[in-house]
Amino acid sequence: MKRRTSKCLLLSACCVAAIVLARPADAAEQGTGNKGVIMRKQPAQEDSKQEPPEQQPPEQTPPPEPPKPKTKRANERPAPIVPQIEEAPKPIVVQPRQETPESVAVPASWPAALNEYFRSELHNPTTDQALGALVQHLNRATLLGTEPEFEAERFRGWTKDFRGSVGRGEGDIRLIEGFYGNLTSWVSLESQFTVAPERDLLKQLVRVVQSQAALDPNYDELRKQKIVNTIEQQGLFVPSGILFGYNVLPYRAVILPKGYVPYETPTKPEFADLPNRAEASYDFIEAPGPIFRIDFDTLNAARVAVEQSSDGRQYELAQEWKSEGATGVTGPVILAKPFRSRYMRIAVESQRETAVLRNPRVFALKEPPAALSALEVEAPVLDASFKETPWPRKAQINGFINPDRVEFAEAQTTVRVCHTANALYIAVYAREPRMDTMSCTLTARDAPLWDEESIAIVVRPTGKPEYRFVVNPLGAQFDSRDGNDQWDGAWKVATKTWPVGWSAEIEIPFDTIDATPGKDDWELNFVRTRRNVENERSVWVDAGEGAAVTKGLLIF
């Protein structure tokens, strides 16, 4: 995560950026049907034969208490949105993408125990790094539907227990308490201000600004006063980027389907500015999961539309939002029916002035990691094309996660599975938008394939050792049993390259792993190593510390 700290940039952008996220729409409505057509750069025609079938501390100022919403008031939060999932999904994470100039590197007191709470790995961080870790943790909680007041109370309880377990003077966390109190207060106030822009909420926001200015070494008096004047004189709710230098996700009440987790998609959009219209178009190549939330900055938007397409040419409306209020439609928007599509675009329309669409962020859902393998009478021919009837029509395994960034992988991987009475069959399609830069040279058996482009299959039959089978685009093989790489099993693989990826079909005889399918589920995971100008490690299941789910299931 990067932080915007340039004083000139912040001061000059303060008013403008504050207006962008200023006040909520007075009358934003959800609806369906779309009469507009949003244009984008058209993709080149692709030969259908060239893709597998599926591709078709400073002075310490106590932070203000996070405001507690009152019942039966104008600013009471609306009922949570319940996305209706029609296809399998899952996600979380949120790393701000702001370009940031130099910042003041001041050490922050960070006891090791804080890493456990915030799921971070910091050691003697600067105040900027500490603030970034707090933002990432709070954003994860917000995406999962945790109310900011609840998160603030949970952290206060943790700090009380922490102080009771350490000696006097050990582990000063007052700075972290102040930062996190300000962050949760901003999220709480913003969600209430969206419903009812009351003056009292702006007064509370001023206190948050004053508290943050006293804690953050990157603040100076001029910057603080500029922000306070924007709030008091213009009645605007300052965006998190101006106040904290980080993109803090606004809270919106939403109930996610059980087992589904939200993550951000890192795909970068193409922008187009037209008369009274601004667009952001996405080509995911392979959508990691159903899209359910989109964040963005805009100004006086009369209409915001989200559209989807399977070919990048013909689009259909997914959902639209309209407003006749003075401030128009504002982000984020939550889709009532999340969708999965290769192409998506966001359009903002303004009737009175140039349309504004900035900083869009897209979040999708990752489904629970479980794959059902069907018993087939006939075994598929290993040719890496997925054409044989035994292969499932749709991949059962998708939504690979980048565990280092806690977001969906940029280059997605999908997997099909099936089995016969004698063997397990796995078909992998690893997308790669930069095939001409892919690094793959190893061909020897049991070479360190994970140093290059490769995919690892990790399977543990019930009551048996863990087996790892690794293949690369050249068809090289590596295997191990319970970490013993001297073990060599009998298994087959066929690989093939495509314009936007490579594929592999693998046959693993049940005799090789000394197991046969029964009533019990097997543990299963996949690890993709991507090597080119972009290096990325992605997994089907993130089994790291603190993960909600630590293993995938293979169901027979």
d(CA 414, CA 396): 8
pLDDT of residue 209: 98
Structure tokens of 283? 């080509």
d(CA 457, CA 336): 35
Contact in structure between 420 and 412 (CB atoms under 8 Å): no
How many C-alpha atoms does 96 have within 13 Å on its Cβ side?
27
pLDDT of residue 104: 58
- pLDDT 10s digits, 60-108: 444 555 555 444 444 466 667 777 765 443 333 333 334 444 555 677 8
Rg (Cα) of the chain, in Å, rounded? 25
- pLDDT 10s digits, 122-144: 999 999 999 999 999 999 999 99
pLDDT of residue 13: 41
pLDDT of residue 326: 72
pLDDT of residue 160: 93
Q: What percent of the chain has pLDDT over 70?
A: 80
The position carrying tokens 């601004």 is 278
Average pLDDT, the chain: 84
Is residue 15 scored above 50 in pLDDT? no
d(CA 111, CA 157): 17
Within this chain, domains 261-366 and 370-555 share the same CATH topology: no
pLDDT higher at 362 or 55: 362
Q: Mean pLDDT over residues 297-317, rounded? A: 95
pLDDT of residue 550: 80
Contact in structure between 383 and 536 (CB atoms under 8 Å): no
Q: What angle do CA 22, 264, 20 make, to 5 degrees?
A: 15
Is residue 425 scored above 70 in pLDDT? yes
pLDDT of residue 312: 95
Could you give the residue ranges of the DSSP H alpha helices within 49-173? Answer: 113-118, 127-143, 148-165
Is residue 12 scored above 70 in pLDDT? no
Neighbours of 311 (CB within 10 A): 13
pLDDT of residue 233: 93
Residue type, 369: P
Q: Please give the C-alpha separations between residue 197 and each of 23, 81, 344, in angstroms, as whole numbers.
A: 7, 21, 32
**CA-wise closest residue to 369 among 529, 143, 554:** 554
Is residue 239 scored above 50 in pLDDT? yes
pLDDT higher at 8 or 280: 280
pLDDT of residue 101: 42
Q: Please give the C-alpha separations between residue 514 and each of 4, 100, 103, 220, 419, in angstroms, as whole numbers.
A: 56, 55, 58, 67, 15
- pLDDT 10s digits, 515-535: 999 989 999 999 999 998 889
Q: Mean pLDDT over residues 480-497, rounded? A: 97
The lowest-confidence range among 47-61, 249-263, 308-322 is 47-61
Instruction: Name the DSSP class of 1.
Output: -
pLDDT of residue 26: 33
- pLDDT 10s digits, 200-234: 999 999 999 999 999 999 899 999 999 999 999 99
CATH architecture assigned to 261-366: Sandwich (2.60)
Q: Mean pLDDT over residues 289-310, rounded? A: 95
Q: What percent of the chain has pLDDT over 90?
A: 69
Class of domain 370-555: mainly beta
**CA-wise closest residue to 481 among 517, 519, 446, 449:** 446
- pLDDT 10s digits, 345-359: 999 999 777 899 999
Neighbours of 368 (CB within 10 A): 17
Is residue 319 scored above 60 in pLDDT? yes
Domain ranges, ordered by start, for the chain:
7-83+90-243, 261-366, 370-555
* 328 confidence band (pLDDT: 50, 70, 90): confident
pLDDT of residue 66: 54
- Give helix 221-234 / helix 199-215 axis angle, nearest 10°: 180
Structure tokens of 21? 């996220």
Backbone phi, then psi, for 280, in 5-degree steps?
-135, 120
Q: Which of 45-54, 349-358, 381-390 has the highest mean pLDDT?
A: 381-390
Contact in structure between 554 and 490 (CB atoms under 8 Å): no
Structure tokens of 267? 């795909």
pLDDT of residue 540: 98
Structure tokens of 65? 């208490």
Is residue 36 scored above 70 in pLDDT? no
Is residue 266 scored above 80 in pLDDT? yes
Is residue 257 scored above 70 in pLDDT? yes
pLDDT of residue 7: 40
Q: Please give the C-alpha separations between residue 477 and each of 367, 401, 419, 442, 456, in angstroms, as whole numbers.
A: 30, 24, 21, 10, 10
Per DSSP, which regions of 266-339 are E strands? Answer: 270-274, 277-283, 291-297, 303-309, 316-322, 333-339
* 54 confidence band (pLDDT: 50, 70, 90): low
pLDDT higher at 363 or 109: 363
Q: What is the DSSP string of 445-504?
A: TT--GGGSSEEEEEEE-TTS--EEEEE-TT--EEEEETTBTT-----EEEEEEETTEEEE
Q: Mean pLDDT over residues 368-396, rounded? A: 95
